Each structure stands twice: as C-alpha cells, then as structure tokens.
Amino acid sequence: MFIIKGNDTRNKKIKKKLKNIGLDIKIRNEGKNISFIDKKCPFTGNISIRGRIMKGKIVSTKMEKTVIVRRDYLHWIPKYKRFEKRHKNIPCHCSPLFRVKEGDFVTIGQCRPLSKTVRFNVIHVEKDRRARNKKIYS
C-alpha cells in the first residue's frame, strides 16, 4: 500500500516546458505549458532522436499513444528492368502533444527501443493533404 503524504497532486496540472530536440522542428505549443506526463515523448521526456528520419502516412490509431505509419517505396527488379511497389508498416510512439488521425502525414525519428516493436517517435505532423484541398462550403 502506498500512502501519499502532503498535498494531493492528482488534480493539479503539471507545468513543463518543451525541450528542443535539435532537428529544426517547430512545435505549435512551443511557448505553452504542458499538462501531461509522457516519459517516452522526445519533447517532454528523456528520449533522444538519433538515426533515421522518415516520412509516412498514418493508417491506424487504434492503440493508446501508438500509431501505425505506412511507408511506400519502389524496389528495382533487375530481371524485368522495372520497379515494384512495396510498403512497410512501422509502429511509432505518438505523444499527447500531437492530435493525429488516420490519413495524416507524419515525420518520424528513430530512438531507443520503447517496447517490443516500437523504435520510432512522431516528431512532426502534417494534416491530411486531401482535407486541406477540400472546399469547406460548396
């Protein structure tokens, strides 16, 4: 049994500043205080982004704080002198700092292993390109 002595901190907001991850990435909430705790977030936690930086499209947001990013690429087949389409699904940690949905394009950065399958972190979100080009009033 754990006994909390002193002030009860469950209903209080935690104030944290965002740290610079060093990749020239601008965050919308940069000047604001953050009211969540996420130790796997590169902006508020103790995670460093190193290695590969990639872009892809979010295809699933069914897990909590984890999204599946699809990367499409072409693979050269020498026998037929043509390319074939291939893809990879990459599970990525997505901080509560970002509001994402399926169809958004994201930039992901490699970090240390966060779980059995997660080795990447979302560092930038670009909203769905189709939604931007739609007319609001038609």
Higher pLDDT, 52 or 24: 52
| Model pLDDT, residue 41 | 87
C-alpha 87/C-alpha 92 separation (Å) is 16
81 lies in some domain: yes
Cβ within 8 Å of residue 52, ≥6 positions away? 109, 110
4 lies in some domain: no
The answer, yes or no, to whether residue 6 has pLDDT greater than 70, is: no
Predicted confidence band of residue 60 (pLDDT cuts 50, 70, 90)? very high
- What CATH number is associated with residue 95? 2.40.50.1000
> For the chain, where are the alpha helices, taking DSSP H only?
129-133
Structural contact between residues 69 and 103, judged by C-beta atoms closer than 8 angstroms: no
Question: pLDDT digits over 93-112, tens only?
Answer: 998 888 899 999 999 999 99
| Domain total in the chain | 1
Predicted confidence band of residue 43 (pLDDT cuts 50, 70, 90)? confident
92 lies in some domain: yes
Range of the domain at 105: 55-134
74 lies in some domain: yes
The answer, yes or no, to whether residue 127 has pLDDT greater than 70, is: yes
59 lies in some domain: yes
